[in-house]
């Protein structure tokens, strides 16, 4: 299944889809801005809809 159609993404996949560095994704998870879940492992998984919601909530310009 192509990455853009997967309902769950790893941090590297989320970074690849958004064009952001993995550090940015991990920081957003640590700060509680982006929801991550653990599905039968210690690997973080991000629901695609949560990633899309987080991206939509980002400011358009730096403040």
pLDDT tens across 11-51, in order?
A: 999 999 999 999 999 999 999 999 999 878 778 899 999 99
pLDDT band of residue 2 (cuts 50, 70, 90) is confident
**Across the strands, what pairs with 8?**
47
Nearest-5° Cα angle at 10, 33 to 30: 30
Q: Residue 59 has which token pair?
A: 């400011």
* pLDDT at res. 39: 79
Residue 15 and residue 21: Cα distance in Å, rounded? 6
User: What CA–CA distances, in Å, run from 45 to 1, 5, 57, 61?
Assistant: 16, 14, 20, 28
Q: For the whole model, what pTM was predicted?
A: 0.84
* pLDDT at res. 29: 97
């Amino acid at each position: 299944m192509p990455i853009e159609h997967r309902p769950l993404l790893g941090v590297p996949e989320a970074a690849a889809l958004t064009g952001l560095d993995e550090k940015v994704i991990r920081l957003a998870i640590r700060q509680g801005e982006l929801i991550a879940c653990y599905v039968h492992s210690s690997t973080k998984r991000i629901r695609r809809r949560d990633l899309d919601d987080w991206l939509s909530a980002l400011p358009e310009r730096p403040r």
